[in-house]
């Protein structure tokens, strides 16, 4: 894909903007006392990995799973402009994340933007990304819960839409998060 100077400048803009996600803490963890919570960028990275594996489990091929993982990677991109609002804050603040995201998409090459929008029209794909987001929350809660018992709250009442997501979550519940123990 050959880029015009104007398109390249837009890409540079979104690359710098996306870096702000490394500075935005996930606000829910602040509510349970986590002193240095994960950033939105860290959350988005693992959400993309979860979405990739869920896509494979759901029967998508590698290429489509990569597309879905990319959608998961940018699912909270709007938070560069809105920050990560806890559910309590969202009771009082009206936010249209989709409007923000659509404005950000103007910095993507048109072909890419159209592909992203097409992915978002597919309910199956959107449900995988939504489930991946919740599963990543569970993973982080399980890890934080050793030091911050209140983090266990985020491990409860997780409602997932996809059968394979529920299957993965059940396996995660019985899996020790200390992956490094097998090397001891």
In this structure, what DSSP letter does residue 39 have? Answer: B
- Indicate the number of domains in the chain: 1
Amino acid 41: pLDDT = 98
Q: What contacts 42, CB < 8 A, 6 or more positions away?
A: 22
Please tell me the predicted confidence (pLDDT) of residue 1: 74
Tell me what pLDDT residue 167 has.
98
CB 119 within 8 A of CB 125: yes
Q: What is the pLDDT of residue 173?
A: 97
Q: Which two tokens stand for residue 89?
A: 């804050």
Tell whether 184 is covered by a domain: no
Q: Closest by alpha carbon to 71, among 10, 142, 127?
A: 127
Q: Comparing C-alpha atoms, which of 12, 157, 139, 134 is closest to residue 75?
A: 134
In a domain, 26, yes or no: yes
Encode the chain (184 residues) as per-residue pLDDT tens digits. Answer: 788 899 999 999 999 999 999 999 999 999 999 999 999 999 999 999 999 999 999 999 999 999 999 999 999 999 999 999 998 999 999 899 999 999 999 999 999 999 999 999 999 999 999 999 999 999 999 999 999 999 999 999 999 999 999 999 999 999 999 999 999 9
**Residue 14 in contact with residue 107, Cβ under 8 Å?**
yes
CA distances to 56, 60, 85, 130, 152 from 159, in Å: 20, 22, 20, 10, 15
Could you give the count of Cα atoms lying within 13 Å of 112 in the half-sphere of its Cβ?
15
Residue 96 counted as domain residue: yes
157 inside domain: yes
In a domain, 65, yes or no: yes
Q: Which domain CATH number covers 97? A: 1.10.3210.10
Report yes or no on 100 lying in a domain: yes
Residue 45 domain flag: yes
Three-state secondary structure readout of 114-135: HHHHHHHHCHHHHHHHHHHHHH
Q: What is the pLDDT of residue 73?
A: 98
Task: Give the H or E element holding residue 59.
Answer: none
Q: To 10 degrees, what angle do helices 40-57 and 123-144 make?
A: 120
What pLDDT is attached to residue 2? Answer: 83
- Decide if 183 is inside a domain: no
Query: Could you tell me the residue range of the domain that residue 56 belongs to?
Result: 5-178
Q: What is the pLDDT of residue 77?
A: 98
């Amino acid at each position: 894909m050959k880029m015009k100077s104007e398109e390249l400048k837009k890409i540079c803009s979104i690359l710098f903007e996306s870096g702000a996600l490394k500075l935005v803490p996930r606000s829910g963890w602040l509510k349970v006392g986590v002193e240095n919570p994960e950033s939105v960028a860290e959350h988005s990275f693992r959400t993309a990995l979860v979405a990739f594996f869920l896509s494979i489990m759901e029967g998508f091929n590698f290429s489509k799973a990569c597309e879905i993982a990319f959608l998961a990677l940018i699912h909270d991109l709007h938070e560069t402009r809105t920050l990560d609002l806890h559910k309590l804050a969202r009771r009082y603040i009206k936010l249209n994340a989709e409007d923000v995201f659509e404005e950000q998409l103007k910095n993507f090459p048109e072909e890419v933007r159209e592909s992203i929008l097409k992915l978002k029209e597919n309910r199956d794909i959107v449900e995988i990304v939504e489930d991946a987001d919740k599963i990543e929350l569970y993973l982080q809660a399980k890890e934080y819960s050793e030091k911050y018992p209140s983090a266990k709250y985020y491990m409860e009442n997780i409602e997932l839409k996809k059968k394979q997501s529920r299957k993965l979550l059940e396996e995660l519940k019985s899996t020790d998060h200390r992956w490094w123990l097998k090397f001891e």
